[in-house]
Structure 1
Amino acid sequence: MSHKTQLHALTAAVAAAASTCAWALEPQSIRLGDSLNFSPSLQVTESYDDNIRAVETGELSSWVTRISPAFALGADGHKASYQVQYRADSDTFHSSHLDDNTDHHLTAKTAFNFNVRNHLTFDIGYHRVELLDSENSDHQSQNDKYNTIDAGALYSFGAPRARGQIDFGVRHQRLRYENTQHINDDLEREFTQANTIFYYRLAPRTRALIEARYTDFNYVSNDLRNSSEIALLGGLAWEATAKTTGAIKIGSQKKHFEESSVGNMSGSMWEIGIDWKPRTYSTVSLTTRQAIDENYQSGIGASAVESTLVKLGWKHGWTNRLSSETSYSYIKRKYQDYDRDDRFDIATLDLTYELRRWLDVSLGLKYIQKDSTRARESYERSIVGLTVAASL
């Protein structure tokens, strides 16, 4: 039974907890032609995780070796740009080699600037991921194994300094699991989203905005979760005004289920991201979000989840070579039609030293505490890791 499949951005910090250090390098490119560049890089992390399965009792600790090769292939033209990126994350669990796995991430993006008023971008990605799952006393546990195909397009009309601008976006995602014994089959789905954002310039660097979104969820075998959503948001977006950059969106969200036996949902929604730079070498960031999300928990009757995220971060350059990044995240998840509330507290600290232009060494610390109203769903987890990142 799956216990920790978290695909949404709200819980990405938990799903990626085994990685303690950030990817910091900007690789130098190899020119393969007049406009074609190739950028390889490599990251190696050795970490100690005292609870690799994120369980309340019977914790298993392990040293974990992660090797992450990556490359980017890009081309820039007069009115168009193209980029393909690939990254593999190979994890070796020295106390549990049956859990060794390799994740694959392949993405491509192209952008067209037809003229000063018309811009179009396309992107597509394929991700094949395996997440360690908690033990279950009733039957043999399986790790969550899934793949996603995600594609989107965005058309923007309006000159950069025009009074008004408008964006039209569309996105489609397909999620499929690779577990045996039909585990996680009830989570397989596709969603399609369309949105429109209208911007109105209030000042040279400040714009008011109104956004409308429509999302359709279609599950392969779990018809009770088929639904559609409508969200209306308004707010502000600004750039480098009084040392801050950010966007604020506040509004409401409504979720309608196809099955009449499942109650519809509605509530307030917000998405806020603000960066404050008191110094050129120091940045304080605030990110917060509240929304109705899909339930990514297999085998339970929750129709959806009310999610709240608050994250506070601080990046600081102590010297030309030494920098730090700290953060604290609070995540709350309230399950609908199911008696369960979860809370996550996540604290991180990363120190990075630039040995050479092409070589960084980082020390990362991460602490995760989950409190749940359901039995056997709470846990604590600490991870410490040393990362070497290299490029050309």
Structure 2
Amino acid sequence: MRVLFFFLSAVKLSSDSGIIKGSNLTLVHGSVSHFYCDSSSTCKADKLGKRLVGPRLVPLLAVSTLCFTANAFAQEAASVQEAASVKLGETELTPALRVDYVSIDNLYRDGANEVSGSAVLVKPELEWRADRRLLSLTASYSGEYGVFSEDGLDYDNHNLDLRAVGDLSSKQRLITNLNFRKTAEEQGTGQAANIVGILDDQVEVSVINAGAEFRYGAADARGNLSAGIALGSVNYSNLEQFTDGDDYSYIRPYAVFSLRLSPDTRVLAEIRYGIYDFDDDGRDRNEVSLLTGVELASSSKLSGDARIGVLKAIYDQNSDEDTTALIAEVGLVYSPVSYSKFSLDIDRSLQTDDQGVDNAGSTISDDLLFNWTHDWSSRFQTVASLSFENEDRDCPTFDYQTMGAGLELNLQLRRWLQVGVSGAQVSRTVTACSGVAIDVEGLEYDRSVVGAHIRATL
């Protein structure tokens, strides 16, 4: 912690540029989007307050357009659901283990002082599933343990998910979900996204999400009605100089009406009301969202759902102007043939910025992730990915854009054993507000990652 102590003792604030400078660290105030790194080694933007249950539960939590701005070296691969399972009475237990070795040419995402290094990542997965006629229970754990050539980058991440789906009758269904994550934000992401320099530690964050939804209407009924509630909290446990006031909790009730247009297609309308309570009272706000969209059943080649709408954010403090924004949530999968799959995830959302700079308000975040998974034979698979992230922030803070591309090659040696290699490239550019002088050196960077992995199942 010597670097952090020295930084705190030598801080100098430049109010014109929104940059805090220390002897060997620079913090540029800006968005504090709440990112977490989950078990898939993919740094993700946790758009808290969205629906946590229903058909978009998994896509919402799995959307990642930041996969190349964080670890960048973990691409989509065979999921734990594809592994063989062990019967435990009337239940099933499915384990899997993946180990990656990666080489990174810019560990700290610092364009001014690039440091190369390597890491070993160990990623266990375990899923328990019980299906009865009217009740389905799922419990899953995934972890990631990273050991880097630079000790300050080591981390251990944990993700626990519990889900229950009960059919109360042919027309009534109850869905509940509880999720807990304990993760470390990699340097150059999350709360440390605007820091130029090397920290002795990483920001540690605990996230709890819970939700319940009641649906009325048979699967083939003309109309369905759903009502539910999502709630949760985000808590940072260290590095208070970067995270002070950022802890928050939220509660978001919602209602959805859907109308069946065809056996595979439903059009929907949704209303949400969210309440966000930050430790820093200046960021407290209420939100009202109106959305419309479509849901596509998984029985067709094109599945998933897409929503677009308007969000109105009302801040508790009179000094903060209310904000209206266009929002979108898209999670689509296209499988023209059984051995090839395309997926597209888009998320446009409103986030709250750090209030450390005068007039720093909200951020409009646009995230896009495109994946193509193709099985060329029963043994050989490729996964190609493209990502784009745009942070449009109120002045005087800067905007930035991040683009990434990655490719993974997998070879199935045995039914239970897979090996592969991967590579990824990511670039970030920064755009300053007109008339505001910001030294972008260090904030803009390029990062390349290459790796090899092995994955074992039963």
Quick check: TM above 0.5? yes
Distance in 1, matches of 2:332 and 2:111, equals 35
Q: Deviations over 1:178-214 (max 9, x none)?
A: 1145541221111111221110011222211101111
Alignment root-mean-square deviation, CA: 2.4
Equivalent in the alignment of 1:115: 169
The answer on whether the counterparts of 2:108 and 2:198 sit within 8 Å (CA) in structure 1 is: no
Q: Report the equivalent of 1:6.
A: 35
Structure 2 residue 154 is matched with structure 1 residue 100: yes
**Residues 116 and 130 (structure 1 numbering): CA distance in 2 closer, same or farther, change over 3 Å?**
same
* Equivalent in 329, 353, 361 of residue 387 of structure 2: 329
Q: Tell me whether 367-376 or 318-327 shows the greater mean CA deviation.
A: 367-376
Q: 1:318 aligns with which of 368, 376, 390?
A: 376
Of the three residues 430, 438, 445, the one matched with 1:379 is: 445
Quick one: which of 145, 150, 168 aligns to 1:90? 145
Instruction: Kindly report which structure 2 residues correspond to 1:27-38, keeping only aligned pairs within 5 A, or say none.
Output: 27-33=83-89, 35-38=90-93
Q: Distance in 2 between matches of 1:320 and 1:120?
A: 39
Structure 1: gaps of 5 or more residues: none
Moved more, 97-106 or 48-57: 97-106
Of stretches 236-245 and 271-280 in structure 1, the one that deviates more from structure 2 is 236-245
Question: Counterpart in 2 of 1:277?
Answer: 335
The answer for the alignment partner of 2:115 in structure 1 is 60
SS at match of 2:143: strand
% same residue: 24
Aligned amino acid, residue 6 of structure 1 = F
1:147 and 2:206 aligned: yes
**1:170 equivalent in alignment to 2:229:** yes
- 2:456 corresponds to: 390
- For 1:1-392, list aligned pairs within 5 A: 6-7=35-36, 8-9=45-46, 12-14=66-68, 16-25=70-79, 26-33=82-89, 35-94=90-149, 96-134=150-188, 142-220=201-279, 222-239=280-297, 243-295=301-353, 299-300=356-357, 302-373=360-431, 374=438, 375=440, 376-392=442-458
In 2, distance between residues paired with 1:188 and 1:337?
Answer: 24
Q: Does the 8 Å contact 1:6/1:15 carry over to 2?
A: no
- Separation in 1 of the partners of 2:197 and 2:417? 48
Give the whole-Å Cα distance in 1 for the aligned partners of 2:182 and 2:74. Answer: 21
1:257-280 C-alpha deviation (Å, 9 max, x unpaired): 100001111022222333333333
Q: Structure 1 length normalisation: TM-score? A: 0.91
CA shift for structure 1 position 19: 4.1
User: For each residue in 1:202-229, what CA deviation from the matched residue of structure 2 results, as whole angstroms up to 9, or x when unmatched?
Assistant: 1222211101111111001x11110111
Indicate the structure with greater strand content.
1
Q: Is the 8 A contact 1:262 1:303 kept in 2?
A: yes
User: Does the aligned pair in 2 maintain the 1:21–1:362 contact within 8 Å?
Assistant: no
Give the structure-2-normalised TM-score: 0.79
- SS at 1:13's partner residue? coil
Task: List gaps (5 residues or longer) in structure 2.
Answer: 1-25, 37-44, 47-63, 432-437
After TM superposition, the runs of 4+ consecutive aligned structure 1 residues lying more than 6 A away are: 1-4
